[in-house]
Structure 1
Amino acid sequence: MFERSLFVGAHLDDIELAAGGTAARLVNTGAQVRFLVMSTSEYTSYDGSHFREADVAVAEGREAAATLGVKEIDILRFPAKDVENHSTVVESINEVVDDFRPTMIFTHWPFDTHRSHANTALATIAAGRYYNSVVMYEPITPSGRSYVGFRPQLYFSIDDTIEQKLQALRQHESEYRKYGEQWIEGVEARSRYRGYEMRARYGEAFEVSRLEGVLA
């Protein structure tokens, strides 16, 4: 089911936040894992505050993927704050999906409070319309403070890869400087809680859009 797993994120760090432990586990089992990121993730606030340059974000993202053992990463150039659920976005994902032919697609949750995350989710679901298995990331604060509740339906133990996940996040040095160690602690705490739910030490949870049952 997971032999060819495609992870789609709006920004460089989104995949690591939500699914870094799972991605590393899949790599360790011999699965082909590919990341698709919709933007180079430079960011300027409404007040003119500039948090990171595109080349910095891209370099950090490649280092983070490598930390998880992921060698294939595609980085597109849609605006970081304005990834749209638009035909050009859908077709850009479609191109990667049809080239890779994933057996599993991971993407954002469509009720995420970050507009680019929600639109990436909808565009991915559209682009993967001929594929049978699509699951969605659990968002983390502030992206998770939605009016709709996330429903954890698919769990992965990440006991063996939690340190890779946290180290991958630390590779995003510009984000780490922005949020501090509390950012890492919050991600670890959520992983610990999902692990507790599934009787593991650490876990990651996903909501299912659709899932193909594969019989041995």
Structure 2
Amino acid sequence: MLKLRLAAPAGAAGLRVLCLGAHADDIEIGAGGTLLRLLAEQQVAAVAWVVFSSTAERAREAHASAEAFLAAAPAGLTRDIRILAFTDGLLPQLVPDIKAAFEQLKAFTPDLILTHYRHDLHQDHRLLSELTWNTFRSHLVLEYEIPKYDGDLGNPGCFVELPAAVLDRKVELLLTHFPSQAGKHWFDAETFRALPRLRGLQAACPGRYAEAFYTRKVLL
């Protein structure tokens, strides 16, 4: 298996990473470990973190969680955390307004975009994936996966190895910052460890754990 390393464009201080999530915990579940690793390795110069749907309670959780995940960043990281208030489950009915929010993100000029999987069975997730590709046509886009009741996990081909300490930190932050989700049967440490373990097996990672992503276009 070929191993590649993400690198910032020539002359840049680091990657500009755009993180997109339909709901308050999506970014953390799908790509939180990858973000923690990139930040720890000082590969990131700027992060735009955008959550599209929230209530007042979920917005507080989302903002606190984003700050906690980005706390590992080196001094000088540029951060833009946006917690929007579109209605959970109804994003496909709000396309013009959501597309306008996407257009505003062009000014961030990302090098790497983390977004939802295009075949995710949650309608909000699918819409964000579609609008990501509709808005950003010449960018590196990695589509993350969210385990859920619908059973829509597929066979991704891109893997980011997670050291055990990074996965531990991801799980700790998720369980700490989203108390509103604690009563859900799937929102626990076992779920958040199970999928990275399976993806680590699939990628033959020496460290046992990985987050997986779908890619449509990669220019080498």
Shared fold (TM-score, shorter chain, > 0.5): yes
Q: Could you say which residue in structure 1 is the equivalent of 2:183?
A: 177
Q: Distance between the aligned counterparts of 2:162 and 2:218, measured in 1?
A: 21
Report 1:38-187 matches (<5 A): 38-40=52-54, 54-69=55-70, 71-84=79-92, 86-96=95-105, 98-129=106-137, 131-143=138-150, 145-146=151-152, 150-159=154-163, 160-170=165-175, 171-179=177-185, 183-187=188-192
Aligned length: 194
Instruction: Show CA shifts across 1:2-26 (max 9, x none).
Output: 6111110100000111111001112
Q: Provide the rounded CA distance (Å) in 2 between the counterparts of 1:114 and 1:175.
A: 17
Shift of 1:83: 1.1
SS at match of 1:178: coil
Question: Cα deviations across residues 158-209 of structure 1 (Å, max 9, x unaligned)?
Answer: 11411221122111010123336x6321121111111222223211000002
Q: Map of 1:182-197 to 2, 5 A cutoff?
A: 183-197=188-202
**Identity within the alignment, %:** 27
Equivalence for 1:51: none
**Aligned residue in 1 for 2:38:** 26
Task: Answer 1 or 2: higher relative contact order, Cα 8 Å, separation at least 6.
Answer: 1
- Structure-2 residue corresponding to 1:12: 24
CA contact (8 A) 2:62 2:83 kept: no
Instruction: Report the more deviating stretch, 56-65 or 70-79.
Output: 70-79
User: Offset of 1:120 from its aligned partner?
Assistant: 1.1
| In 2: Cα distance, 1:74 partner to 1:109 partner | 21
Distance 1:211 1:155 in 2: 14
- More displaced, 28-37 or 81-90? 81-90
Per-residue CA deviation, residues 90-114 of structure 1 (Å, 9 max, x unaligned), is: 2311211x22111011110121111
Which residue is equivalent to 1:37? 51
Residue 183 of structure 2 aligns to a residue whose secondary structure is helix
Per-residue CA distance 1:71-124 (angstroms, 9 max, x = gap):
53211222111112724322311211x221110111101211111111111111
| Deviation at residue 137 of structure 1 after TM alignment | 0.8
Give yes or no for the alignment of 1:202 onto 2:202: no
Shifted more, 28-37 versus 200-209: the winner is 28-37
Distance 1:11 1:74 in 2: 12
One-letter amino acid of the structure 1 residue matched with residue 17 of structure 2 = S
Gaps of 5+ in 2: 1-6, 9-14, 72-78
- Secondary structure of the corresponding residue to residue 188 of structure 2: helix
Deviations 1:127-164 (A, max 9, x none): 112x3211101221225x23xx6231111111141122
C-alpha RMSD of the superposition = 1.9
